[in-house]
């Protein structure tokens, strides 16, 4: 337990340090007239494929000075950021008018490459004093042309930067293209391009502390807030209806059961028992594949802890808009530090179930989630390398992640497992388990595992599906999600609904004299993850415009891992709720 407390203390330190880093990073951006303010070109990619991005200078742009790469943190690299010095110089308070950044003669192949990019709506992203800016590479002229072969393709060669400042700090920057400065890319012919830019500085009264507010305005607009609150109201109504169902139906049935069983005890002793009391000698019989079950419970508990800490960081303001890589860094670090919780929970529960080979159980716990994630990453990283995209991780980053796993994750997992094994807590079963299991009576089709999972997963999914659209639009699109308080409320509602539904399904299963509830409760609790993955199919084909093998494989590959994580986490929540419920009802009756 001391090691687990030390792990949680380390997580708290990470939270505090993260907040301190955010606050300190917002105070070092002061300039005087003529100072060079850093402008970095990040990446280029098709607008509708967020995972398919390329380095800025993979395209035939030019620069008047040697290109310098910016040193990036782990989270930035995982996010696909590859910042390099941009070809434009934007000095503080230095206005410029149609200045030539550099000149380049494009070959036939380079013209064709730009034309393909323009036809696919490629955009570029830059960072100026840590403020993001975007722009499109060019435009397609389709006006009055029915045949695609008659379309005209143009490259924007003149960028206009408009920068707002407050005393000695940069507050806001926007970029737009001069619609009159175009380069015709329609024909495969060499062409000379003068890349130009204009810089306009304007003073504003907006304080530096609020310069990021404009990036969260879209999610804070009254229309979107109305939809968010509608989502919460819908979820709350679901919770209230479900709670009312349990209070009026389930509890009344349980009360009648208690009265009936108490009456049976006072009447003839040879009267045959029925219902869930009939299987009291089998309900606490340990499940099949208890090592796998304990590993799933440990992994789910770890993922729940990880999610809780991510919400803490979000609510205190660490993940402000375009804090590059902060989320990925937090995920990697907190997952590594919480591995001790997975080892402790799995080993402790496995030993309670009278398991012997706890070392194999720890190996299974460590690989249950990381294994599929590693296989998926290897495949998708290979795809990204084939596409030469920025999503392909450099070898050095892979080594760093491996060292974190080898030097932090694995030792903490082992220490947690040893602590769990040495806890020596006995499984608290209010009823004595018989030597031989009872035969389960034939059940109708709707009481089988898959129909029960479908019914158990639908209600929690219906409570969150409205919010899912905004999350998907943020992760797999260009919408910015900042209302973490609403997301946290929805998450709490998801946990409550999952626990209630799983308890109800467990009662119905026991009432049908089916005592194999352990795995069923885990599967019913985690079935919401399957509904989320089904929503992925809908989102890909309806709201989004994603296309191409790389984007499709990244979307379905990583969403499969995320949904699998939800399956483990919610499965652990559902089982814990069912275990508490089963212990309570069997403790309330007298069992022979």
**Cα separation of 525 and 501, whole Å?**
8
Per-residue model confidence as pLDDT tens digits over 518-573: 999 999 999 999 999 999 999 999 888 899 999 999 999 999 999 999 999 999 99
**Cα separation of 108 and 528, whole Å?**
52
Per-residue model confidence as pLDDT tens digits over 263-319: 655 554 444 455 777 787 888 889 999 999 999 999 999 999 999 999 999 888 888
> Is residue 206 located within the same domain as residue 336?
no
Q: How many CB atoms lie within 10 A of CB 90?
A: 20
Domain annotation covers residue 363: yes
Query: What is the DSSP pairing of strand 169-177 with strand 152-156?
Result: unpaired
Domain annotation covers residue 491: yes
Domain annotation covers residue 129: yes
The mean-pLDDT minimum among 5-19, 98-112, 506-520 falls in: 5-19
The last residue of one of the domains, among 403, 433, 463, is 433
What would the two tokens of residue 221 be? 């607009």
Quickly state the pLDDT bin for 388 (edges 50, 70, 90): very high
> Is residue 225 located within the same domain as residue 326?
no
Is the four-CA dihedral 20, 21, 26, 28 of positive or negative sign? positive
**CA-closest candidate to residue 164, choices 209, 211, 124:** 211
Using DSSP's 3-state secondary structure scheme, residue 31 falls into coil
**Cα separation of 507 and 447, whole Å?**
12
- Quickly list H helices, 53-162: 74-78, 108-119
H helix or E strand, kind and range, residue 127: strand 122-128
Q: Which residue has the tokens 């460590």?
A: 366
Query: What is the DSSP pairing of strand 39-46 with strand 54-55?
Result: antiparallel
pTM greater than 0.85 (yes/no)? yes
> Is residue 330 located within the same domain as residue 380?
yes
Domain annotation covers residue 531: yes
The last residue of one of the domains, among 187, 210, 233, is 210
CB 45 within 8 A of CB 122: yes
Domain annotation covers residue 541: yes
**Cα separation of 391 and 53, whole Å?**
7
> Is residue 333 located within the same domain as residue 301?
yes
What would the two tokens of residue 498 be? 């999952």
**Cα separation of 574 and 525, whole Å?**
4
> Is residue 458 located within the same domain as residue 357?
no
Q: What is the pLDDT of residue 256?
A: 67
Per-residue model confidence as pLDDT tens digits over 50-68: 999 999 999 999 888 888 9
> Is residue 335 located within the same domain as residue 390?
yes
> Is residue 114 located within the same domain as residue 243?
no
The last residue of one of the domains, among 368, 398, 433, is 433
> Is residue 466 located within the same domain as residue 553?
yes
Q: How many domains does the chain have?
A: 3
DSSP state of 273: P
Q: Encode 155-182: b = buried (16+ Cβ within 10 Å), e = exposed.
A: bbbbbbbebbbbeebbbbbebebeeebb
Q: Which domain holds residue 372?
A: 290-433
Q: How many CB atoms lie within 10 A of CB 239?
A: 18
> Is residue 247 located within the same domain as residue 385?
no
Domain annotation covers residue 9: no
> Is residue 111 located within the same domain as residue 164?
yes
> Is residue 494 located within the same domain as residue 558?
yes
Quickly state the pLDDT bin for 11 (edges 50, 70, 90): very low
> Is residue 463 located within the same domain as residue 574?
yes
Domain annotation covers residue 252: yes
Domain annotation covers residue 71: yes
Query: Which residues have a Cβ under 8 Å from the Cβ of 400 and sit 6 or more positions away?
Result: 74
């Amino acid at each position: 337990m001391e090691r687990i407390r030390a792990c949680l203390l380390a997580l708290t330190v990470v939270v505090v340090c993260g907040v301190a880093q955010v606050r300190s990073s917002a105070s070092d951006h002061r300039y005087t007239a003529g100072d060079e303010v850093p402008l970095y070109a990040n990446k280029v990619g098709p607008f509708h494929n967020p995972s398919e991005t390329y380095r800025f200078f993979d395209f035939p742009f030019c620069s008047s000075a040697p290109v310098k790469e910016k040193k990036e943190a782990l989270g930035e690299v995982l996010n696909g950021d590859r910042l390099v010095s941009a070809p434009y110089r934007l000095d503080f308070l230095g206005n410029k008018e149609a200045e030539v950044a550099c000149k380049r003669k494009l070959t036939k192949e380079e013209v064709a490459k730009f034309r393909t990019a323009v036809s696919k709506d490629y955009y570029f992203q830059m960072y100026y004093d840590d403020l993001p800016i975007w722009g499109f590479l060019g435009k397609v002229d389709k006006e009055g042309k029915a045949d695609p072969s008659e379309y005209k393709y143009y490259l924007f060669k003149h960028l206009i930067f408009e920068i707002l400042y407050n005393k000695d700090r940069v507050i806001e920057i926007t970029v737009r293209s001069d619609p009159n400065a175009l380069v015709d890319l329609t024909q495969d012919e060499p062409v000379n391009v003068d890349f130009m830019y204009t810089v306009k500085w304007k003073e504003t009264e907006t304080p530096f502390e609020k310069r990021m507010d404009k990036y969260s305005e879209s999610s804070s607009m009254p229309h979107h807030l109305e939809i968010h609150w509608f989502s919460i109201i819908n979820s709350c109504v679901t919770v209230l209806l479900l709670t009312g169902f349990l209070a009026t139906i389930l509890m009344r049935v349980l009360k009648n059961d208690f009265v009936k069983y108490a009456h049976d005890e006072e009447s003839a002793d040879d009267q045959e028992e029925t219902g869930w009391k009939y299987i009291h000698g089998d309900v606490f019989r340990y499940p099949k594949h208890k090592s796998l079950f304990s590993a799933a419970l440990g992994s789910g508990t770890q993922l729940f802890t990880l999610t809780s800490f991510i919400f803490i960081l979000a609510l205190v303001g660490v993940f402000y808009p375009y804090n590059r890589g902060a989320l990925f860094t937090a995920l990697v670090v907190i997952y590594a530090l919480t591995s001790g919780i997975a080892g402790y929970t799995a080993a402790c529960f496995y030993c309670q179930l009278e398991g012997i080979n706890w070392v194999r159980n720890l190996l299974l716990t460590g690989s249950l989630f990381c294994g599929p994630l590693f296989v998926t990453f290897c495949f998708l990283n290979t795809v990204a390398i084939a596409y030469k995209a920025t999503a392909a991780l450099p070898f050095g980053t892979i080594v760093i992640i491996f060292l974190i796993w080898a030097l932090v994750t694995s030792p903490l997992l082992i220490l947690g497992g040893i602590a769990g094994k040495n806890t020596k807590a006995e499984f608290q079963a209010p009823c004595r388990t018989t030597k031989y299991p009872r035969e389960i009576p034939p059940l109708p089709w709707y009481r089988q595992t898959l129909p029960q999972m479908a019914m158990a997963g639908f209600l929690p999914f219906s409570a969150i599906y409205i919010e899912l659209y905004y999350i998907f639009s943020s992760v797999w699109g260009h919408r910015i999600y900042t209302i973490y308080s609403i997301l946290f409320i929805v998450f709490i509602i998801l946990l409550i609904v999952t626990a209630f539904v799983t308890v109800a399904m467990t009662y119905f299963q026991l009432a049908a004299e089916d005592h194999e509830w352990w795995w069923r409760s885990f599967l019913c609790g985690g079935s919401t993850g399957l509904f989320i993955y089904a929503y992925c199919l809908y989102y890909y084909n309806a709201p989004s415009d994603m296309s191409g093998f790389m984007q499709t494989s990244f979307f379905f590959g990583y969403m499969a891992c995320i949904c699998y994580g939800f399956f483990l986490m919610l499965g652990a929540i559902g089982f814990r709720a069912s275990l508490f419920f089963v212990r309570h009802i069997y403790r309330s009756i007298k069992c022979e």
